[in-house]
Structure 1
Amino acid sequence: MKAWTKIGLLAAAVAVALPAAAQDVTLKFHHIWNTQAMASVNVINPWCEKIAKESNNRLKCQIFPAMSLGGTPPQLVDQVKDGVTDLTITLPGYTAGRFPAMEVFELPFMTNSAEAAAQAAWEYLQKYATREFPGTKILAVWTHDEGLVHTKDKQVKTLEDFKGLKMRAPTRQTNKLLASLGAAPVGMPLPAIPDAISKGTIDGFTLPWEPLPSLKLQEMVKYHTETHPSRPSLYSAVFIFGMNQAKYDSLPADLKKVIDDNSGMALSKQIGAVWDASRGPARKLAQDRGNVFLELSPAETDRWIAASAKLYDEWVDDMNKRGLPGKQMLDDARALLAKYKK
């Protein structure tokens, strides 16, 4: 009887252990974009397909696009931290001032390349900013392609043309940038732009080219103003790809390895390159529609750079007040951007 009891206990232990070793895991993936957006088609779907393949379909994504799981875009950082969702891609800058260390890459005129900025941001994150994301495992970080000015009725040709314009901005630093240039900044996340531009709540917006097609924004504005290519672009915004830390910790070792193999510096660089590549096709749609383009001269671009230069000092002072080495952080970010410059 004792022997049979031992066998029964052993069998029960094996029965429990086997499902744990070969468990199937479905990850809830919540984000801001609709299913036609470049990020959905070229980043999110391929990543989910890749982890499914490499895990023999034991890791799967259940994707909730366009905030369909509920809440607002600024709440995504807490949704992934608190386990409401397992995965998200969002902009930390949607929650103004909460992630100040990463804001260094949202200062004006820092970079022309999303691929270079992605690598710089990943290395910088490891040194200065992982503490800003408790409860969240950061899988990748990057910036978008070159940010520029899009307006509905008035073309921005000079610094003075910003006066009186209500301009949408995505982050605290971009709001400060627009104010320094003379515009009236209006902070709002991406999904709110079409309604705001159609109702006249804003006269224009700052965005890279990438998101315009999915929202048909190139049909809602007429003018596009780009800074001179010999200078860094007007602005960038930082994205993070985050996973709930407890969910990651709960995975068996082999599934953790699948996540690890599809995250980090390599993934950040890859996504940055995807954003850079999106510029041409999106811009062409505005060209084909007959929209009006203006490339600023080097001299006029330098006027914009000079007008916004105080934002660097303000950010450094803010970091210093938080007990962080602000000047060193800014210098490191610039050095990393130069290191990875294409």
Structure 2
Amino acid sequence: MKVRNTALGLISTLLLPAAAQAEEVVLRVAHFLPPTTPMHAKVIAPWCDKIAAESQGKMKCQIYPAMQLGGTPPQLLSQVRDGVADVVWTLPGYTPGRFPVSEVFELPFITTTHEPSARAMWDFVQTHALGEFVGVKPLAVWVNGPNVLHFRDKQVRNLEDLKGMKVRAPSRLGNKLLASLGATPVGMPVPQMAESLSKGVIEGALIPWEVVPATKTQELTKYHAESSAERAMTTATMIYVMNQKKYDSLPAELKQVIDNNSGREFSAWVAAQHVAADTVGRERTAANGNLIYSIPAEEMAKWEAAAKPVTAEWIKENSARGSDGQKLYDDAVALVKKYSE
């Protein structure tokens, strides 16, 4: 009996490393940009380091940048819902129609600065838009910096200059905004933009400053028009989401680690990282000798007036779906104001 017990003890000892290994959770984290970009280096990698440290090594990430799990940027949402990835960073604007309520934050002249707008969006989603996140758990939702108009060969100073120009937009509402201003919108994900600018397929692009260095936009364009309005001409909403089944499968202690690294303040922290990245992008552009200028307030008032039908149409669309479109819009505006004061 003693020999048998000793043998069992030895087997148990040998199996301990395997059991410990089995307990380790590896999260497959996917996104669409290179690992040199700010979102990877300043947000996703630090988040992964934090959950590894707080879980004492029981939960780690395997990051797959630049669509290394296959597919295209618009497929990221399906990949995380289907469990191909466990966590993804993506833009709802890449999948038009899937986020009809939370896209309110992409409407013209609604958001202010990064962090207040991110807090507002988190609260708004929790109250009004969780139905858009079926199958995934929101870890953070936010908006990037105010989008700037970057042009290849022409300085746009007014609506007349913009008329008919082919300009890349990040989302459905970005397309509608450009159309309302008289431009010809061309929707495409960021990775396609650089080649399209280089070949002249598009004459300009609507992107925040942070995207400039990674896409070499400062080398592909010469003129950069910033808005002088208090609220951003437009932004892109962004989401960092986890497969719900994966989250549900975690033991309580690891769920707590995820919970401690998600939510309103995490959303604001993510948004804040875009501020520094915007500064770098703008400085890189200025150093290239490009012309950066602001559309005067008097002219911007005309742009705001021209864009009002975009908001009116959005309200009407959501009301037709059975929601109170005006209330959704008013609540979003009120939340942005609350966190901006």
TM-score between both structures, scaled by the size of structure 2: 0.94
What amino acid does structure 2 have at the position aligned with 1:290? G
**What is the RMSD computed on CA atoms of the aligned residues?**
1.9
2:308 is aligned to: 309
Contact persistence 1:166–1:185 (CA under 8 A): yes
Contact persistence 1:148–1:233 (CA under 8 A): no
1:261 is aligned to: 260
Contact persistence 2:26–2:60 (CA under 8 A): yes
1:216 is aligned to: 216
Structure 2 distance, partners of 1:172, 1:183, is 14
Gaps of 5+ in 1: none
Identical positions, percent? 47
2:84 is aligned to: 84
State yes or no: 1:173 paired with 2:181.
no
Contact persistence 1:21–1:252 (CA under 8 A): no
Structure 2 distance, partners of 1:340, 1:203, is 36
Structure 2 distance, partners of 1:251, 1:272, is 27
Gaps of 5+ in 2: none
Give the 3-state SS of the residue equivalent to 2:205 in structure 1.
Answer: strand
Structure 2 distance, partners of 1:235, 1:333, is 14
Contact persistence 2:89–2:241 (CA under 8 A): yes
Give the 3-state SS of the residue equivalent to 2:23 in structure 1.
Answer: coil
Contact persistence 1:30–1:89 (CA under 8 A): yes
Moved beyond 2 Å, runs of 4+: 18-22
1:151 is aligned to: 151
1:294 is aligned to: 293
How do 1:206-245 and structure 2 match up within 5 A?
A: 206-228=206-228, 230-245=229-244
Matched pairs, number = 332
Structure 2 distance, partners of 1:99, 1:34, is 26
Q: Report the Cα offset of residue 200 of structure 1.
A: 0.9
Contact persistence 2:112–2:336 (CA under 8 A): no
Q: Report the Cα offset of residue 231 of structure 1.
A: 2.2
2:248 is aligned to: 249
Give CA-to-partner distance per residue, 1:235-286, whole Å, 9 cap, x none. 0110000000001111111111110100011110101111123221210111
2:35 is aligned to: 35
Structure 1 distance, partners of 2:255, 2:266, is 16
Structure 2 distance, partners of 1:88, 1:114, is 21
2:196 is aligned to: 196
1:337 is aligned to: 336
Structure 1 distance, partners of 2:91, 2:271, is 14
Structure 1 distance, partners of 2:300, 2:57, is 51
Q: Report the Cα offset of residue 19 of structure 1.
A: 4.0
What amino acid does structure 2 have at the position aligned with 1:331? D
1:23 is aligned to: 23
Give CA-to-partner distance per residue, 1:159-184, whole Å, 9 cap, x none. 11111210000100000000000000
What amino acid does structure 1 have at the position aligned with 2:313? E
Structure 1 distance, partners of 2:245, 2:21, is 18
State yes or no: 1:163 paired with 2:163.
yes
Structure 2 distance, partners of 1:246, 1:20, is 22
TM-score between both structures, scaled by the size of structure 1: 0.93
Give the 3-state SS of the residue equivalent to 1:100 in structure 2.
Answer: coil
